[in-house]
Structure 1
Amino acid sequence: MNMLGTFIKPMHPEGRKFVAIFAAITVGLFLLSDILGWIGVILTIWCYYFFRDPERVTPDREGLIVSPADGIVSLIEKAVPPTELGMADTPLTRVSVFMSVFNCHVNRAPISGTITAVAYRPGKFFNASLDKASVDNERNSLCIRMEDGRDLAVVQIAGLVARRIVCFVKPGDDTETGKRFGLIRFGSRLDVYLPEGVVPMVSIGQTMIAGETVIAELNADTRG
């Protein structure tokens, strides 16, 4: 890897218009003041950085569930998946990954399978790190049916700053572990509802890398 590639990452196409808007505003700010103009430059660089879309190396061992987002594990608890997915109302282990405005916001599939449901629900914009964000905030939920017939839910949740959830997949699409499926603009959270009996291998406060960090293993031996 060359030095330039360490700092300059590809940008997701969703970010191009935002970077263009920031750059245009920056030109106007330079006409008013050099100080304001350089502030605009910094914000434009930050906007590019927000929409960066680096390549990831996804572990290829069968049965691994990986993080769908960059960020920090903020919650691990039992919860019922979103009702709009039509899944059973049995509480499952939910692992929540909180993304700050400095994290990469491209979301990746936690497991391979077929998308059986995609359900958007409008809502509020509480801080995404709060527990009630899973229930009250704007969200987009996906159900992935794995090869063994079990279902896994992954939910994109808008945050305090986020105002736009983008999803690239639809019911009937096949996906692969680590494949891009969406993004959320400007701060948010991803929830993963693990299949019944699957135990998380991460802890609260752990740093996650989308498409790379293993959350759980379907075939792990959970006997004490």
Structure 2
Amino acid sequence: MAKEAYPYLLWCGLAAALLAPAALWWPPAWGLVAVVGLVAAFVAYFFRDPERQIPPGSDIVVSPADGRITRLAPVTPGDPASPWLVSIFLSPLDVHINRAPIAGIIRDVLHRPGQFKSALREDAALINEQFIVVLEGTHITVTLKQIAGLIARRCVLWKGVGDQVACGERIGLIKFSSRTDLIVPAEVELQVRQGQRVKGGTTIIGRIRPLD
């Protein structure tokens, strides 16, 4: 479980501790205790952080998040050299840990304040609160965007500029429903389709084509 869950669980524990004595005199309060218990259970479930088996290979690009691919398109339509955009929508039931899509060095991090519109909107990557991470690998450089959604109000990045990360390594999370965008160069041969469900660190998004 991610450490970001602890404050929420602490508040749930305090609420239950205050309500339980009241329930001895006012039995309906047990219903409130049960609600607090359900909230705590959801928080623990939401912030779960399962281990993942990262696929082997130096030519792979793995999914940076769990969820469903809602958009798979060239950044510049009609340009054969255009990078590809892979948008992944995370529902409140998905694991919200973000992982490094390739091994490399974080060259740049930009925090862009913004709105909290639905992450399913095409323009969410332009107007919503987000972190933009540029990750340089041995063969390619990719851009990862943590985008807050309608419910999500905070993107959390655990890494900074200059940090070395392994492929599939945990780099952060987004609280509650959200979106993760991945921009990969044209030399990546995509192996996913729009509408497909993916798992962070496990699903291979694409493979880097060998240099001629």
CA contact (8 A) 2:135 2:142 kept: yes
Q: Deviations over 1:162-188 (max 9, x none)?
A: 111111111111111100101111111
Choose which of 12, 35, 42 in structure 2 pairs with 1:39.
Answer: 35
Report how many residues are paired.
Answer: 201
In terms of mean alpha carbon deviation, does 106-115 or 31-40 score higher? 31-40
Q: How far apart are residue 220 of structure 1 and its match?
A: 6.9
CA distance in 1, matches of 2:142, 2:188: 11
Paired residue for 1:84?
Answer: none
Counterpart of 2:189 in 1: which secondary structure?
A: coil
Paired residue for 1:50?
Answer: 46
Q: How far apart are residue 15 of structure 1 and its match?
A: 1.2
Structure 2 gaps, min length 5: 24-28
CA distance in 2, matches of 1:48, 1:39: 14
Paired residue for 1:105?
Answer: 96
CA distance in 2, matches of 1:133, 1:161: 13
Counterpart of 1:20 in 2: which secondary structure?
A: helix
Choose which of 87, 92, 105 in structure 1 pairs with 2:83.
Answer: 92
Q: State the one-letter code of the partner of 1:147.
A: T
TM-score, scaled to structure 1: 0.84
CA contact (8 A) 2:116 2:150 kept: yes
Greater Rg, structure 1 or structure 2? 2
Paired residue for 1:209?
Answer: 199
CA distance in 2, matches of 1:55, 1:214: 16
Q: Percent sequence identity over matched residues?
A: 34
CA contact (8 A) 2:191 2:205 kept: yes
Q: State the one-letter code of the partner of 1:207.
A: R
CA contact (8 A) 2:189 2:209 kept: no
Q: Deviations over 1:18-62 (max 9, x none)?
A: 111123223444436122221211111000111111110000112
CA contact (8 A) 1:93 1:196 kept: yes
Structure 1 gaps, min length 5: 1-10, 81-89
Paired residue for 2:26?
Answer: none
Taking only aligned residues, the RMSD between alpha carbons, in angstroms, comes to: 1.7
Paired residue for 1:64?
Answer: 60
Q: How far apart are residue 200 of structure 1 and its match?
A: 2.0
Q: Deviations over 1:61-100 (max 9, x none)?
A: 12111111111111112227xxxxxxxxx85210011111
CA distance in 2, matches of 1:220, 1:76: 22
